[in-house]
Amino acid sequence: MNNEFTDTELTKKVKEENNEEALLELIDRHSGIYVDMVKRFGCKSLSIDQVGDILDEKDYNIYKAAIDYEEHRAKFSTHLANKTKFICLTKKTQNKKNNKFINYEDVDFCLVSKDNTPDENCFNNERFSRALNMIAKHKDERVKTIFIERYFGGGGNKVSPWSEVAKKANLSTQGCINIHNKTIKQFQNKIKNENIKF
């Protein structure tokens, strides 16, 4: 797809021609905005599973945004950001109505790192999504506890100290670190074996 096409022209191609290349170009241009908005408005108030679901629906939601985009109202990027924010806030409202509100602090998490103990400064959009899904689906409850407490249990957008994580997991501090590092390597190998590109 020619990069000289504007967002408006691309959305018209999607709406009028169901043009797949135009849609892929929009996804390529604006996935970062979508994920950033989910991180900003979802990670503070939704569960890992809910955030993972919204991130998994990224391409479809960008498609829907293209279909109902009206040029005279706003730029497409603004339109998409508003729709993504609405999706997150709607989920949050549903949680409150169902008494399922979970407050996970905003966190920066990097799956692939030269350091097997990534910190809050190495956030990567696609890896963040992938990591959330793998943690949520992990069969070992200790892994879920360790990662949730380490990266979602701290205040002020900081990771929790290993000593606090150990208390929650009912393990020794070194035991938590060992399980954490082993799991990181498993995630890295899984991604490598599936040939997933980020």
Tens-place pLDDT, residues 30-48: 999 999 899 888 877 788 8
Summarize pLDDT for 113-156 with one digit per residue, the tens.
333 333 333 344 455 566 677 787 788 889 888 887 887 665 54
Summarize pLDDT for 43-68 with one digit per residue, the tens.
777 888 888 889 989 999 999 999 99
Shortest CA distance to 107 belongs to which of 168, 45, 180, 183? 45
Residues 6+ apart with CB under 8 A from 59: 23, 27
pLDDT of residue 67: 95
Give the C-alpha separation, 131 to 129, whole Å: 6
| Cβ neighbours around 132 below 10 Å, total | 26
Give the C-alpha separation, 170 to 161, whole Å: 14
Instruction: Say if residue 14's pLDDT is above 60.
Output: yes
**What is the mean predicted confidence (pLDDT) over 194-198?**
47
pLDDT of residue 111: 35
C-alpha 131 chain-centroid distance:
8
Instruction: Say if residue 192's pLDDT is above 70.
Output: no
pLDDT of residue 21: 94
Amino acid at 184: I
Instruction: Report whether 135 contacts 147 (CB < 8 A).
Output: yes
Length of the chain measured in residues: 198
What mean pLDDT, rounded, does the chain reach? 77
Residues 6+ apart with CB under 8 A from 50: 42, 91, 95
Instruction: Say if residue 180's pLDDT is above 50.
Output: yes
Which carries the bigger pLDDT value, residue 132 or residue 160?
Answer: 160
